[in-house]
Amino acid sequence: MDNMKTNNIKKLIIIGSGPAGYTASIYAARANLKPILITGLQKGGQLTTTNNIENWPGRLQNTKGIELMNDMEKHALKLNTRIIQEEVLKIDFSKKILQIILEKKKYFSYAVIIATGSSPRYLGLKNEKEFLGRGISTCATCDGFFYKNKEVAIVGGGNTAIEEALYLSNIVSVIHLIHRNTSFKAEKILMNRLMQQVKKKKVILYTNYIVNKIIIKNQKIQSIQIISDYLSKKKTICISGLFIAIGSIPNTQIFAKHIKTKSGYITIQKKYNNITTQTNIPGVFAAGDVVDTIYKQAITAAASGCRAALDAEKYLTTLNI
Ligand code: FAD
């Protein structure tokens, strides 16, 4: 590295090809940073697993996730982003010039944007992944609309599950909320709102139950079977949709030793010089679901990708390179 020519050092490498990564690359390319974007194993990110997106502004027709992400890739390529379809195995943060290590190659860069997203937790049941986007969802804000006036179930007991139940209570007919414990981890204020929905019989609670089986008929979810060892009971609930709200795992394992995280999510340094996306390491920025414990939407990920690219540009100008 010491005798490496400076023209081998890239200005900016973006890790991840979800809405955050592609948006960052579009802004960085337009700022003439000649970004490299490394896609990871899930090119296009989480949206590629959904069949229908109805909340991306400007896309009124039924849009498949993969179509939207292919368009983002085309946009990034048109502006001369170099796209590498590989996974980053490691980053060496120990020197000012960062080393981004892939299976057979290393890249050197002055700045990096981490946009590695997150992966929803699943229950581990048969049919679960196969029916994602076709009766099973991990995102009520994204998919709730498709279950208008229908009965659905939600699994979970934390803030996300309760927020999803409250959100869906304005859309669906009845919500069956299944939680494996007696007490809920969600905040009291959310629980108070939930209990109002329970009183109205909009939400039916099943505590101490877990989902045991997803029952499919004619290629559609027909019902779920729930069981309680504690109560020695088994029930079948007819539903049109199952929302799994048991959390998500941010993809930060490979950085965890060096980049500060909280519950796995990258923590951002306090705002300074109007920079709002920098991690604890100078020149390393983070964007999208990997930092987001609240919104986790394509549009919020894209917006933070934009901010990270603008921040990286500002940082690079301070280096006089
Ligand atoms: P992600 O989309 O998670 O992308 C992360 C990227 O990082 C991937 O390309 C991955 O390959 C890459 N990566 C990870 N590790 C590495 C590594 N080591 N090296 C290189 N690359 C790596 N949101 C909406 O707004 N509307 C919807 O309708 C909607 N529907 C959804 C449906 C489903 C089933 C799911 C799961 C999510 C949905 N969401 C929706 C949420 C939305 O997909 C996410 O909020 C958004 O994709 C987050 O974008 P991101 O760029 O932060 O990360």
Average pLDDT of span 240-265? 94
Instruction: State yes or no: pLDDT of 1 exceeds 80.
Output: no
Determine the distance separating the centroid of ligand 1 and the alpha carbon of 246, expressed in angstroms: 17
- Catalytic status, residue 139: yes
Q: Does the beta carbon of 135 lie inside 6 Å of ligand 1?
A: no
Residue nearest to atom 8 of ligand 1 (CA): 45
Note whether 265 and 252 are within 8 A (CB).
yes
Confidence of residue 230 (pLDDT cuts 50, 70, 90): confident
- Catalytic status, residue 2: no
Give pTM, 2 decimals.
0.86
Determine the distance separating the centroid of ligand 1 and the alpha carbon of 287, expressed in angstroms: 11
Instruction: State yes or no: pLDDT of 199 exceeds 90.
Output: yes
How high is the pLDDT of residue 6? 62
Average pLDDT of span 148-160? 95
The number of the ligand 1 atom at minimal distance from the alpha carbon of 52 is: 28
Instruction: State yes or no: pLDDT of 12 exceeds 50.
Output: yes
Please state, rounded to an integer, the average pLDDT across all residues of the chain.
94
How high is the pLDDT of residue 160? 87
How high is the pLDDT of residue 204? 98
Instruction: State yes or no: pLDDT of 7 exceeds 80.
Output: no
In 156-250, DSSP assigns E strands to 174-179, 203-207, 210-217, 220-228, 233-238, 241-244, 248-250
Q: Which own/partner pairs from 270-273 qualify as long-range (CB within 8 Å, at least 24 positions apart)?
A: 273/314
Q: How far is it, in rounded angstroms, from Cα 159 to Cα 18?
A: 25
The answer for 283, left when phi > 0, alpha when psi is -120 to 50, beta otherwise, is left
Active-site residue identified among 71, 92, 142, 229: 142
Q: Are strands 284-286 and 106-114 parallel, antiparallel or unpaired?
A: parallel
Note whether 107 and 82 are within 8 A (CB).
no
Average pLDDT of span 93-111? 95
| Higher pLDDT, residue 299 or 321 | 299
Could you say which DSSP state residue 280 is in?
Answer: S
As a whole-number percent, the residues of the chain with pLDDT over 70 amount to 98
How high is the pLDDT of residue 50? 80
Instruction: State yes or no: pLDDT of 51 exceeds 80.
Output: no
Confidence of residue 2 (pLDDT cuts 50, 70, 90): very low
- Copy the structure tokens of residue 118: 């997150």
Active-site residue identified among 2, 139, 229, 289: 139
- Catalytic status, residue 306: no
Q: Does the beta carbon of 73 lie inside 6 Å of ligand 1?
A: no
Residue nearest to atom 3 of ligand 1 (CA): 117
